[in-house]
Each structure stands twice: as structure tokens, then as C-alpha cells.
Structure 1
Amino acid sequence: MGRIDREKKTIKLMIEIYCRKKHGHKKGELCEECSELLEYAHKRLSYCKFGENKSTCSRCPIHCYKKDMKIKVKDVMRFSGPRLIIYNPVELIKHALNK
């Protein structure tokens, strides 16, 4: 699995956790707002200028997210990041090592 695919998997997992806990949706289901955010994040990752050589988005010199989406993603990461230790510790370790 390449870097972009891992990033897509991680953001999907984080958004699913966020939507389940904040919006009350079942596992594997997303509300319209979270679906839109996931689609946007996957699109940005697919067109990343750095491709497989990218760093984590927080360390990237180019911020390609629109301001409102950037705020939403930060909220999701702030909420879901610590919870990854419970829901998927392996993914958390992989994400932490990529920083």
C-alpha cells in the first residue's frame, strides 16, 4: 500500500470515528457533511503535488485545503486522533511514524 492510500485510509477512519461519536451515525455510515469532507480529503490526496513522497499534511509546505475544509479536518483530527489508540492502534502507530 502506497503513502497516498495509507493517508486516505487514515483520514477515512478518523472521519468515521468523528461522525459516529459526534453525529450518531452507525459504523460504516457517514452523514452528508462528513461524506463531503471525506470526498474532499480523498480528492486533495489524489492530486497531491508530492505524490508518494509527501509528508503528513501538517508538515507540508503547501496547504491545499480551502479554509473551511481545513478547519473541519483539524476538528476531526483533534477529536479522532487520540481515539485511534482504542479503535485502531496499529493505524495510529503507522501514522505517528510517518510524521
Structure 2
Amino acid sequence: MVRHNNGPIITLEKRTVSFMIGLYCQKKHSMPNGVLCDECADLKHYALQRLTTCRYGEQKSTCERCLKHCYRKDYQQKIKQVMRFSGPRMLLYHPFLAINHLYKNIKQRN
């Protein structure tokens, strides 16, 4: 059975990962704001698809804390690279998404 998660938590996760990939592509691949290169567009499509079909749905943790990683190894490496680059910059470019993501990570540690 294929899940189609479209609730508020998944929607916020999609918004966060989309922004991070966009920021990465803009800074690393010199793409104009809002335009993605083919590689980043592919990664974004893959990430959004994984979130839509996430087995945990609205109860999902951040991907970093997930018990069962669903990304293929090649995409897992790509998204880690994007997050390492974009994560620290999120506080400058989109503080709401950054603080929300940090809060969710800290909350799940306890």
C-alpha cells in the first residue's frame, strides 16, 4: 500500500528540504534564485517523493533521527552534502524553518 502523506508536518518538512536544496543550488551551482540545475531538481523530486510515501507519516522524526532510512545510498550522500552546506545558512535565509527543524531534532533527543 502506497501512502500519500500530505499533512502539516510532512508539508513543513517538504518546504524545509525544498528550501535547503534551492539554497544549495543557488550558492554552489550559481543558479538564479528559484531555478534548480538538473541534479538538484532530481534530488528535490526524490526527497519530496520519499516524504510523500514516508512510513511514519505525521509522526515522522527528522530524517537524521529516523530509525529506518529510506533514501538510496547515492541520494543519501547528496542530501547529507546539501544539509551540511545549507543547514548553518538557514538561520540567515529562513530562520523560521531553521529554528523549527532544530527544535524538532532537540525534542526527539529527549
What's the TM-score, normalizing by structure 1?
A: 0.98
Find 1:36's aligned residue among 19, 23, 42: 42
Task: Give structure 1 regions of 4+ aligned residues with deviation exceeding 3 angstroms.
Answer: none
Find 1:18's aligned residue among 24, 36, 47: 24
Matches of 2:56 and 2:42 in 1, distance apart? 23
Q: Highest CA radius of gyration, 1 or 2?
A: 2
Matches of 1:48 and 1:79 in 2, distance apart? 24
Give matches, 1:1-99, under 5 Å. 2-99=8-105
AA aligned opposite 1:71:
Q
**Count of residue pairs the alignment pairs up:** 99
Matches of 1:4 and 1:98 in 2, distance apart? 13
Q: CA RMSD for the aligned pairs?
A: 0.8
Matches of 1:90 and 1:10 in 2, distance apart? 10
What displacement does 1:69 show? 0.1
What displacement does 1:97 show? 1.1
Secondary structure of 1:74's partner?
A: helix
Spell out, residue by residue over 1:49-70, the C-alpha distance to the aligned partner (whole angstroms, 9 max, x if none): 0000000011111010000000
Which ranges of structure 2 fall in alignment gaps of 5 or more residues? Answer: 1-6, 106-110
